[in-house]
Amino acid sequence: MITYLVTGAAGFIGSNFVKYITSKYGNDIKVIVLDALTYAGNINSIKEELELPNVSFVKGDIKDYCVVKEIFDDNDIDFVVNFAAESHVDRSIENPKLFLETNILGTQNLLNCAREAWADGKDDTGKPAYKKGKKYLQISTDEVYGSLEKDFDEAQPLHVDDELKQVIEGRHNLTTFGKKFFTEETPLSPRSPYSASKTSADMIAMAYHHTYNFPVNITRCSNNYGPYHFPEKLIPLVIHNILNGKKLPVYGKGLNVRDWLYVEDHCKAIDLVLRKGKIGEVYNIGGFNEESNINIVKLIIDTIARIMREEPKYQSLLNCNLEDINYDLITYVTDRPGHDMRYAIDPTKIATQLGWYPETPFTVGIEKTIRWNLDNQQWIDDVTSGDYQKYYEQMYGNR
Ligand SMILES: NC(=O)c1ccc[n+]([C@@H]2O[C@H](COP(=O)([O-])OP(=O)(O)OC[C@H]3O[C@@H](n4cnc5c(N)ncnc54)[C@H](O)[C@@H]3O)[C@@H](O)[C@H]2O)c1
């Protein structure tokens, strides 16, 4: 039996991860979720999992020593997976301090409590030793590497070497907007308060590994998309606005490029790194899906319009006319200060060493995401109306 402490699992990626591991491992695992339920945390996203006997929820802050220590005192935690963070770049520009507190001090508190709980004397070389099988995984971001040049205006074919080609045989016609990619060796060069706080968290996690011999992995992923994504981020926001006939705000000219990773592919990678990743290593996790923001918005418009025409039952969800779903909805807004031009991850290390690759091509993942949004309007309505914040009271208020 492996016991997980999953922080921030009422958020987007963490909730998908809890779904993934509970469905994959069933009763062979125990999961404790720790989440402060900030505006980004929606306990309803993991409602079904919380009904399982082997999944429990603690409302609390990762910065709170007493809360985290009590979890370690009461449970023999094997894996800590730290998703908890302030994660929205725009909000970090408005309020950097909160990001430094949660993302840096919260990470350090988790590392500290895990180190205390897992300490097990010294090894043969005199270094601190830890109980067997324990691991702390810090979920980080490609944004720690800074920004890459965009060398091409339109996507060009991406050529990968033969070793990588063998692993990713299910993916064809890969494209890129540039010649350079982030590898695990790329120097860290964060440019927003958000990415600076995530970089600091990575560095303190690695410092625990080097100083205390502490069992750490770091994963750095590109932009995730998929079910349970809070509609302040680009893809769910665009879907929501299209259904409601609202304008689609695009920063600058929409030419910034991101690499998009389907969230389930990400969860599979995290699972692999936890079980097979070499202690002390960083793994980059990318989607092989580079795309400019403007092309993404156009793809979503085209896909929703097509689904509505092919499956008229969904037209009842529209608060606009079907004919109005077109590129005229796009509106260009003043760019974000310091907006990074391009992120592109090279996932060769995790592919060749652990056998993982991002299985989901962007057109497939986007259609799945749109369909999830269409089929889960109640979740979206609750989030956009703020009602999701009542769920905790309903589920746990009287316990
Ligand atoms: N979403 C992406 O595309 C992406 C890309 C790269 C890296 N990441 C990283 O992945 C992780 C998860 O991202 P996400 O998009 O799911 O985030 P999210 O904003 O959807 O969820 C964050 C969760 O953390 C919780 N939380 C916030 N502060 C907390 C605190 N002090 N104590 C306990 N819980 C707290 C929130 O309530 C929420 O449930 C983050 O660390 C983020 O930096 C995300």
Contact between 340 and 206 under an 8 Å Cβ cutoff? The reply is no
Structure confidence at residue 293 (pLDDT): 95
Q: How far is CA 368 from CA 251, 304, 314, 360, in A?
A: 25, 11, 15, 10
Average pLDDT of span 93-98:
95
Pairing of strands 2-7, 29-35: parallel
CB atoms closer than 10 angstroms to residue 194: 24
Nearest residue (by CA) to ligand 1, atom 7, is 141
Q: Is 151 a catalytic residue?
A: no
Express each pLDDT in 170-213 by its tens digit. 898 899 999 999 999 999 999 999 999 999 999 999 999 999 99
Structure confidence at residue 399 (pLDDT): 57
Average pLDDT of span 2-27:
98
Compute the distance between CA of residue 135 and CA of residue 118 in angstroms, rounded to an integer: 9
Q: Which atom of ligand 1 is nearest to the CA of 39?
A: 37
6, 13, 284: which to mutate for ligand 1, most atoms within 8 A of CB?
Answer: 13
Express each pLDDT in 98-148 by its tens digit. 999 999 999 999 999 999 999 999 999 999 999 999 999 999 999 999 999
- Is the domain defined by 147-179+226-260+288-334+361-382 classed in CATH 3.60.20.10? no
Q: How far is CA 63 from CA 7, 99, 100, 108, 279, in A?
A: 11, 12, 11, 8, 24
Report yes or no on whether pTM surpasses 0.85.
yes
pLDDT band at 398 (very low <50, low <70, confident <90, very high): low
Q: Is 38 in the pocket of ligand 1 (CB under 6 A)?
A: yes
User: What is the pLDDT of the chain when averaged over all its residues?
Assistant: 95
Q: Starting from the edge strand earliest in sequence, which strands make up the sheet with 223-225, in order?
A: 223-225, 257-262, 290-292
Structure confidence at residue 127 (pLDDT): 96
Report, in angstroms and rounded to the nearest whole number, the Rg of the chain calculated over CA atoms: 21
Compute the distance between CA of residue 340 and CA of residue 358 in angstroms, rounded to an integer: 23
Taking the centre of ligand 1 as the mean of its atom positions, its distance from the CA of residue 26, in whole angstroms, is 24
Closest residue by Cα to residue 234 from 256, 207, 267, 211: 256
Contact between 254 and 336 under an 8 Å Cβ cutoff? The reply is no
Express each pLDDT in 211-252 by its tens digit. 999 999 999 999 999 999 998 889 999 999 999 999 999 999
Average pLDDT of span 340-348:
94
Q: Is the pLDDT of residue 155 over 80?
A: yes
Q: Is 102 in the pocket of ligand 1 (CB under 6 A)?
A: yes
Same fold, 1-145+188-221 and 147-179+226-260+288-334+361-382: no
Q: Which fold has domain 1-145+188-221?
A: Rossmann fold (3.40.50)
Domain edges within the chain: 1-145+188-221, 147-179+226-260+288-334+361-382
CB atoms closer than 10 angstroms to residue 214: 24
Structure confidence at residue 345 (pLDDT): 95
